[in-house]
Amino acid sequence: MGIEHEQLRKTSTEEGDGSHWLVQFRRLFHEMERRIRLKTLNPYITCKICKGYLIDATTVIECLHTFCKSCLVKHLEDNNTCPTCEIVIHQSHPLQYISYDRTMQDIVYKLVPNLQQNEVRRERDFYKKRGMPYPKTIPNNCIEKETGSQSSSSKVEDSDYHRSDEQVNILLEAQTTALKQMRRKFIRCSAQVTVTHLKKFIAKKVLNNMDKYREVDILCNEEVLGKDHTVKFVCVTRWRFKDPPLKLYYRSRLDLA
């Protein structure tokens, strides 16, 4: 009895609070408060298809409804409508009109502690069980370091080389014979890639020198593209109602001189 009392008093002083039950009550109260907060937010951060928290949140560009990427992609195999509002996303290529929603995914990860770590762990186990290499290049020490709800998702995102970005399919062809055709004309890249990135890519492949990228012009619908445009911008403004891939032509700027 005496020992028990001693322990109780010790715990109480460790907590820096007068009475033990009050500390416990406060903890319980905070936990309840957190759960209630989360509950009121749940409709906004869960996927209507799987009823779970959003994983790889992906938004329909037209109506802005959001689902897990895998849930939405699976749904669009047999449908071309939004599962929530049933708007027709696109008659033949609905997958081109959905977009990874990084902001929403960050919110979900911040509100639901450990969701990200659990998800990464679950994915790793999936590949490990099948003896396959883990496709997302996260440093080995990343998850172990990130304990508790303070973990930021930026580390994981920064290290995935934009693979979780929205992707764009592009066909790159030489417009004139002055520059040779590339052996692989079809590329798939992040929608955040800029025209300058593409010029550097072409300069490296065609001119064998990335530094010569300023000598390359890239055209869409016969119009020279500005160097700072992202391919997302080009798709939306120049290729909106055309079927993928986005067709771009390159030529040497010197051709015209």
Q: Does 71 bind Zn ion (CB under 5 A)?
A: yes
Q: Does 50 bind Zn ion (CB under 5 A)?
A: yes
Structure tokens at 128: 């490990």
**The binder of Zn ion chosen from 23, 38, 63, 189 (CB under 5 A):** 63
Q: Does 88 bind Zn ion (CB under 5 A)?
A: no
Question: Quick one: 84 or 230, whose CB is closer to Zn ion?
Answer: 84
Question: Quick one: 80 or 169, whose CB is closer to Zn ion?
Answer: 80
Question: Quick one: 75 or 238, whose CB is closer to Zn ion?
Answer: 75
Query: In the bound complex, what is the minimum distance in angstroms from residue 220's beta carbon to Zn ion?
Result: 29
Query: In the bound complex, what is the minimum distance in angstroms from residue 54's beta carbon to Zn ion?
Result: 7
Q: Does 82 bind Zn ion (CB under 5 A)?
A: yes
Q: Does 236 bind Zn ion (CB under 5 A)?
A: no
Which residues of this chain interact with Zn ion, rule CB under 5 A?
47, 49-50, 63, 65, 68, 71, 82, 84-85
